[in-house]
């Protein structure tokens, strides 16, 4: 019996809408059972561009059942994630249990604050080399090392989602073909 992979994509006020929705869409296209999680009672979460997007579920213990937890970026959301001790403990739990953790753009600073980047290759937004001090920073678009996937920023949800797929054991080549990714110059 083939087990469907699962992903928990986090949404908190100030999240970057295009990153979050593109990542969610791509993972779903790959057959990953992907749910978005909020930290508030209202199911609509306001993003960085003031777009309100409906989330699937409220954050809770069930997130730990996911195969991967995804922390997208957004200028103001990183501090909100970091201030949420339950969420930070969940990231540490994922790391301690060898489960996959993914962060892009300012989401990488959340992973740094949780201590899950220590000694691992990671990438991040321009200038984040100074913010991701515990990681071995590399200047690549998307990086997968040990149990962590990181990506640079708003222009990188596609390579980021493809790396997550690869880390989950899913070959993204069919999706890349359907999206004309190679013809568009994607790597």
Q: Give pLDDT, residue 180.
A: 72
Strand partners, 4: none
CA 100 – CA 7 distance, rounded (Å): 9
Examine residue 85 and state whether it is found in any structural domain, yes or no: yes
pLDDT in tens, 67-121: 999 999 998 999 999 999 999 999 999 999 999 999 999 999 999 999 999 999 9
Range of the domain at 60: 6-178
* Number of domains the chain is built from: 1
Examine residue 98 and state whether it is found in any structural domain, yes or no: yes
The count of other CB atoms within 10 Å of the CB of residue 92 is: 14
Which residues, other chains included, contact 161 with Cβ-Cβ below 8 Å and sequence gap of 6+?
A: 22, 23, 26, 27, 30, 172
Answer yes or no: is pLDDT of 179 > 90. Answer: no
Q: What is the CATH number of the domain that holds 85?
A: 3.40.50.880
Tokens of 154: 């708003």
User: What is the three-class DSSP state of 116?
Assistant: coil
Examine residue 1 and state whether it is found in any structural domain, yes or no: no
User: What is the three-class DSSP state of 82?
Assistant: helix
Examine residue 185 and state whether it is found in any structural domain, yes or no: no
Answer yes or no: is pLDDT of 133 > 90. Answer: yes
Q: Give pLDDT, residue 2.
A: 62
The count of other CB atoms within 10 Å of the CB of residue 180 is: 9
Which stretch of DSSP H or E encloses residue 122?
Answer: strand 121-122
If pLDDT is split at 50, 70 and 90, which confidence band does 154 have? confident
Examine residue 45 and state whether it is found in any structural domain, yes or no: yes
CA 68 – CA 89 distance, rounded (Å): 15
């Amino acid at each position: 019996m083939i087990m469907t992979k699962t992903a928990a994509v986090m949404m908190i006020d100030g999240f970057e809408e295009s990153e979050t929705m593109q990542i969610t869409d791509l993972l779903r296209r790959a057959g990953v059972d992907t749910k978005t999680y909020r930290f508030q009672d209202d199911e609509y979460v306001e993003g960085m561009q003031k777009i309100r997007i409906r989330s699937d579920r409220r954050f809770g213990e069930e997130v730990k059942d996911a195969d991967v937890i995804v922390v997208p970026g957004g200028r103001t959301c990183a501090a909100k994630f970091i201030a949420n001790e339950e969420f930070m403990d969940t990231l540490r739990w994922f790391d301690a249990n060898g489960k996959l953790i993914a962060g892009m753009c300012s989401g990488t600073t959340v992973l740094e604050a949780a201590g899950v980047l220590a000694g691992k290759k990671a990438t991040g937004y321009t200038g984040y080399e100074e913010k991701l001090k515990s990681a071995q920073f590399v200047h690549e678009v998307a990086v997968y090392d040990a149990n962590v996937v990181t990506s640079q920023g708003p222009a990188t949800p596609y390579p980021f989602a493809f790396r997550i797929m690869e880390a989950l054991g899913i070959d993204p080549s069919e999706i890349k073909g359907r999206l004309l990714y190679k013809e568009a110059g994607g790597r």
